[in-house]
Chain A
């Protein structure tokens, strides 16, 4: 158990790491689109979405302090369950409605 001062330094470091990581990820996403790093759009889109996913995890880890530690277990379970529901709803919506669109064209 370290003292509160060490704790404070550690916490500031956490935020700084999160901030820098988020800046890099954001910059990479914008850069990829702005300077056309990839030839075809599908790859670019996949890269942008992938970077967004990583950045969301970075935010949860460094700003919202969600981790696998025991103290955050309840919140982690809640977030994972919510992710499942979001995936079902968003995935379902897109599959169903794009299928309808394709069949009407």
Chain B
């Protein structure tokens, strides 16, 4: 039988040669297309280089056994963070490209076409939220939280792996959209009717729908997993009011994920039904109601803001307390504030669409609710300041980020209070003022916290500290870059410049835009310096090892084991006596007492179910985007088959014999006896081996 080229393409749905960015650039070698092809080639060359490198190093087996199929929460956490940094690099480059475009395009078309510009702000936003911020916080919670509550793993280790791989599949779709086809031009919020078939017949919105849906499913499952872990797996004696504050924020974030992700899934699923089956959920005519989309999207979108910010609040609470050598001031008020924020975050979603046309009473209600949420946040700021008060404050990298956060975040919060007033919101709605506001919240309130957490817990993950000097250099870039990039946007927004604008017409705006562009470049330098820091730290790792595991005189249980921690975390599940239980033990000289007896430990075996489900999810998404129906259906069956097959598996644990645990633990205790403790003035010097000197 002869297969015609035509049949072949039917088999491939809507894909044709023109779908490929390279082909488009070949046929039309304009600057715009060349930029697109350049981005596509970065994806392709990057992927090929990675495969070659792993093959050359003969690391496939290692990667598969030790990482990809691992159910160890620490490794899953690290993989999340690696994913986040890869995606952050892409989205930050896109941001600089947009700033360059706007700085150049004053009364000229600039370097990219309007559609390409729209793709850039859509991918930038979608990636930053779903594939940078979410993986960063999920990774950090994954790594830290079980160790802080004295558990060996999360409640459902396999589900954890499934979540990771679903998120990875979504990220894969985002990357595929650079090479094949085009991404959505509808922004990260994807408002219909613009994203409906009538106005957007291409594959762009479909890429957005399936990438976001995969990641939101992953996040729902993650939230479930974390919440149950914190509820049910705490070490004996770890009452809720003894939880480290990072765990409290993790718990509230998880609860928000459980209840706030479904509205997003509903919204994207309805949009998909509109686009694939001709339904009329959000169309202009035929009884559709596009305002319901805004409603559903922000039912997710507003709690999402707090999903992103709360874990960073947790990090700051840990960091400020550790680097001030004081217990956290106002623990109870911080817990109550966190819970208040979590509940209130479900009552403010309408402030994202004050201008939609509902009456003034409704706007007023939501405006007041929005202002109310500023109160618990303010309480927190004061608590952190009082924690530093008369503490032994050391200006290490995480502490610097915390202080920069407190100052910068308050500014962003104040512009938020302005926006919470409906009449004021009407004036600056949809302008760069809003863009400045939410970057002002999320960069200090999310990114600084995550970098602080990354620096703070890095030694626990890999056994050596990160280089301080390069870390401080990166810090300066992230702070200076932020102010230069976003303060001008406040001014421009007040002057009425609409967000997402491809070309501007008033030369008076240009100086502000150039300053913002310089700020963007400095931010990109900050990211580059983080990579330099990582490289230098790995190169000099022998000087910076902290094998005992407590480099910062930490207060929580996560510092009570070796660095890196053994796969089972604790030789014996610790008994908790107080808040800041590790600090309490150090004060009572019983932090490193050998246990009376060792027991066998059961740990989950590796499983490739997570990988299979993730890969199937990604393939099904790709098939749906391109209307390749066989590719959409088969992987779904694959997922069902995998789940059923897995339910028949019985041999899912392996046992680590007590003798092995005893030997490893004994080795660590011996190391502690041979290590010289350091005081806090030496904590960033090579003398710091991870054992803190007792303060008399």
Name A residues whose Cβ lies closer than 8 Å to a Cβ of B.
74, 81-82, 85, 88-89, 92-93, 95-97, 99-100, 103-104
A103 adjacent to B292 (CB under 8 Å) = no
Given A74-B231, A93-B295, A97-B289, also A85-B359 (CB < 8 A):
no
Q: Which of A74, A82, A89, A104 contacts B299 (CB 8 A)?
A: A89
Residues of B within 8 A of A (CB): 231, 255, 259, 263, 289, 291-292, 295-296, 299, 346-347, 349-350, 356-359, 362
Q: A74-B231, A85-B259 are in contact. Are A96 and B350 (CB under 8 A)?
A: yes
Docked complex Cα distance between A97 and B255 (Å)? 26
Tell me, rounded to whole Å, the shortest Cβ–Cβ distance linking A50 to chain B: 26
How many Å lie between the Cα of A90 and that of B25 in the bound state?
49
Contact A92 B291 (CB under 8 A): no
Q: Which residues of A contact B291 (CB under 8 A)?
A: 97, 100
Give chain B residues whose Cβ lies under 8 Å from the Cβ of A88. Answer: 346-347
Residues of A within 8 A of B347 (CB): 88, 92
Interfacial chain B residues near A99, Cβ < 8 Å: 358-359, 362
**Given known A-B contacts A85-B259, A93-B292, A95-B362, A100 and B350 have beta carbons under 8 A apart:** no
Of all chain A residues, the one with the shortest Cβ separation from B255 is: A81
B259–A92 contact, CB under 8 A?
no
Q: CA–CA, A83 to B292, complex, Å?
A: 21
Taking a contact as CB atoms under 8 Å apart, the answer to whether B346 and A85 are in contact is yes
Q: For residue A95, which residue of chain B has the nearest CB? A: B362
How many Å from the CB of A6 to the closest CB on chain B? 31
B380 CB to nearest A CB, Å? 22
| A99–B363 CA distance with the chains assembled, in angstroms | 11
Given contacts A74-B231, A103-B358, contact A97 B292 (CB under 8 A): yes
What are 30 A-B interface contacts by the 8 Å CB criterion? A74-B231, A81-B255, A82-B259, A85-B259, A88-B346, A88-B347, A89-B263, A89-B299, A92-B295, A92-B299, A92-B347, A92-B349, A92-B350, A93-B292, A93-B295, A93-B296, A96-B295, A96-B358, A96-B362, A97-B289, A97-B291, A97-B292, A99-B358, A99-B359, A99-B362, A100-B291, A100-B357, A103-B357, A103-B358, A103-B359
Cα A104 to Cα B349 with chains together (Å): 21
Q: Which 7 A-B pairs have the closest CB atoms?
A: A99-B358, A85-B259, A88-B346, A100-B358, A93-B295, A100-B291, A96-B358
Which single residue of chain B is at the shortest CB-CB distance from A88? Answer: B346
Q: Please give me the residue from chain A that is nearest to B303 by CB atom.
A: A85
In the bound complex, residues from chain A placing their C-beta under 8 Å from that of B259 are: 82, 85
Which of B346, B347, B350, B358 has the largest number of chain A CB atoms within 10 A? B358
Please report the C-alpha to C-alpha distance between residue A82 and residue B357 in the assembled complex, in whole angstroms. Answer: 29
Q: How far is the CA of A93 from the CA of B358 in the complex (A)?
A: 12
Residues of B near A96 (CB, < 8 A) are: 295, 350, 358, 362
Evaluate contact between A100 and B346: CB separation under 8 angstroms: no
Q: What's the Cα separation between A79 and B231 when bound, in Å?
A: 15
Residues on B with C-beta less than 8 A from A74 are: 231
Hey, which chain A residues are within 8 Å of B357, CB to CB?
Answer: 100, 103-104
A91 and B357 CA atoms in complex are apart in Å by 18
B-side contacts of A95, CB under 8 Å = 362
Measured CA separation A99–B347 after assembly (Å): 17
Of A89, A93, A103, A104, the residue contacting B346 (CB under 8 A) is A89
In the complex, residue of chain A having the shortest beta-carbon distance to the beta carbon of B347: A88
Please give, as numbers and ranges, the residues of chain A lying within 8 Å of B362 by CB-CB distance. Answer: 95-96, 99
With A95-B362, A97-B292, A100-B291 known, 8 other A-B pairs at CB within 8 A are A85-B259, A92-B299, A92-B349, A96-B358, A100-B356, A100-B358, A103-B357, A103-B358
How far apart sit A100 and B359, CA to CA, in the bound complex (Å)? 8
CB-defined contacts of B296 to chain A, threshold 8 Å: 93
Tell me, in angstroms, the Cα distance from A1 to B259 when the chains sit together.
39
Determine the distance from Cα of A93 to Cα of B349 in the docked complex, in whole angstroms.
Answer: 10
Q: B193 CB to closest chain A CB, in angstroms?
A: 15
Q: In the complex, how many angstroms separate the beta carbon of B487 from the nearest chain A beta carbon?
A: 34
Chain A residues positioned under 8 Å from B289 (CB to CB)? 97
